[in-house]
Structure 1
């Protein structure tokens, strides 16, 4: 799910709907809260949420007493965030050029962002600039090659997953988090994996989207796409759907 790209109004509406749906998935709130914990986000602390989207994390951080700033490159997304949470601080900007002064943030958070960045090294240089010495960073996102889906057609399923990865700027960014942070000069680098397991119909839109994208680019035929979607629908209806989505969380400390 993309948050660090520009969108027209129609695609922004669709993106917001997908992000809202993702925020409601089982375990999503707990995973967001974990990122706040590892940042030490509490009263008096300042945190920048990069690629903030519609602003839910900024609001949740503010409820902890944090001085939170949400940054997103989309004017439409910032407008939505301000409409939902008018009392919070949302600013237009990109991961490469954050609208913050040097050393002004105690924490830096980027959730489902780095897989859309062509220059992650540049983004981490900017993270170093805005973080105070000893400040904490948390990166979280999926590796688009490591989506696990049960299907009677495993070869076709692999094709669909890889086709989706190929349409992403940096589909394997999450597996690079540790080395990227080390190369950027961060200390105390650690990586955790939190895997969501989904067995109900809530994930059907994601599975259908996976298939339609491959169909639209000619990677699979209409018959293949229709057959695969029909199988997943039947699995959802009979409580046999299985999807596992590993989320990688990397944390580190800015040098003192």
Structure 2
């Protein structure tokens, strides 16, 4: 398998992951994965794939219940951080999963919205699962970070910069994603959108630097600074309490599905 991922579908350029930055500014992500972790209900002896495992925080937690868990991620930096936790973590692209009927469950938290060809990803997940295997995931759904996106796009357009190819995320509706699951061959057990305003302990600017770099990709430093400042000003009216405490307007899509046994 190529390490260059040349065959993966186009994605917004510019997103890079820094494990230290992620730990500093986004440690709330695995912490908020508790509900979907509980929904997975991993059992001792099960073989589970953690898709988009990041730094392995939840992968490690799954392994502690006695399951045999494999974490995969496209970021070399994140895989190194996951390996440092002692988990089985591998740099593999979600569009090119090499597994064939190997897992009792596929789990994913806060990762699938980065994958802009969801049908291909779901087909790979299906192939990785044993008959009767289950798929449990949570990720950004319709309306996720809507205010943030609107402010970023408005700030870019004010400078005469098109945002058309900069939006890096896939945020489906319940109906859209349920249809995709059924098209691929899954039976949907539960699916819902959950509004979850999320406090940002280190502020909105650090959130934008960590998660929204495709919107700033290729901009000169002075233009980036202007767009950032304008975005923060626009968002301060709705996502800041005026005392320097910021939140993000998260909406998560939580889903459980399974494959038929025959």
TM bracket, shorter-chain basis:
0.7 to 0.9
Q: Distance in 1 between matches of 2:213 and 2:154?
A: 10
196-205 vs 155-164, which deviates more? 155-164
Equivalence for 1:60: 61
Higher normalized contact order (CA 8 Å, seq sep 6+, divided by chain length): 2
Q: Distance in 2 between matches of 1:143 and 1:92?
A: 26
Equivalence for 2:132: 134
* Partners of 1:207 and 1:229 within 8 A in 2: no
Equivalence for 1:34: 35
Evaluate the alpha carbon distance shift between residue 49 and residue 61 of structure 1 in structure 2; reply closer, same or farther with a 3 A threshold.
Answer: same
230-239 vs 55-64, which deviates more? 230-239
Alpha-carbon displacement from aligned partner over 1:200-246 (angstroms, at most 9, x marks no partner): 6534235654699369769x997675355257569455267554211
Displacement of 1:122 in angstroms is 1.7
Q: Distance in 2 between matches of 1:254 and 1:212?
A: 35
Equivalence for 2:215: 213
200-209 vs 110-119, which deviates more? 200-209
Equivalence for 2:204: 204
Q: Distance in 2 between matches of 1:164 and 1:35?
A: 32
- 1:144-223 map, 5 Å: 145-147=143-145, 149=147, 156=151, 159=154, 167-173=166-172, 175=174, 176-198=176-198, 202-205=202-205, 209=209, 213=215
Question: RMSD of aligned C-alpha atoms?
Answer: 3.9
* Partners of 2:139 and 2:254 within 8 A in 1: yes
Equivalence for 1:93: 92
Alpha-carbon displacement from aligned partner over 1:110-156 (angstroms, at most 9, x marks no partner): 22333232322122111111111221102321147532549xxxx75
Q: Distance in 2 between matches of 1:182 and 1:92?
A: 28
Q: Distance in 2 between matches of 1:165 and 1:201?
A: 30
Q: Distance in 1 between matches of 2:50 and 2:128?
A: 12
Answering whether residue 257 of structure 2 is matched by residue 252 of structure 1, we say yes
Flag the structure with higher helix content: 1
Displacement of 1:63 in angstroms is 1.3
Evaluate the alpha carbon distance shift between residue 60 and residue 139 of structure 1 in structure 2; reply closer, same or farther with a 3 A threshold.
Answer: same
TM, length-normalised to structure 2: 0.71
Q: Distance in 1 between matches of 2:102 and 2:63?
A: 17
SS at structure 2 position matched to 1:12: coil
* Partners of 1:149 and 1:242 within 8 A in 2: no
Equivalence for 2:21: 17
Q: Distance in 2 between matches of 1:192 and 1:221?
A: 36
TM, length-normalised to structure 1: 0.73
Alpha-carbon displacement from aligned partner over 1:174-206 (angstroms, at most 9, x marks no partner): 653222111111113421233322466534235
Evaluate the alpha carbon distance shift between residue 241 and residue 230 of structure 1 in structure 2; reply closer, same or farther with a 3 A threshold.
Answer: same
46-55 vs 187-196, which deviates more? 187-196
Q: Structure 2: which 5+ runs fail to align?
A: none
Q: Distance in 1 between matches of 2:164 and 2:251?
A: 14
Q: Distance in 2 between matches of 1:106 and 1:217?
A: 45
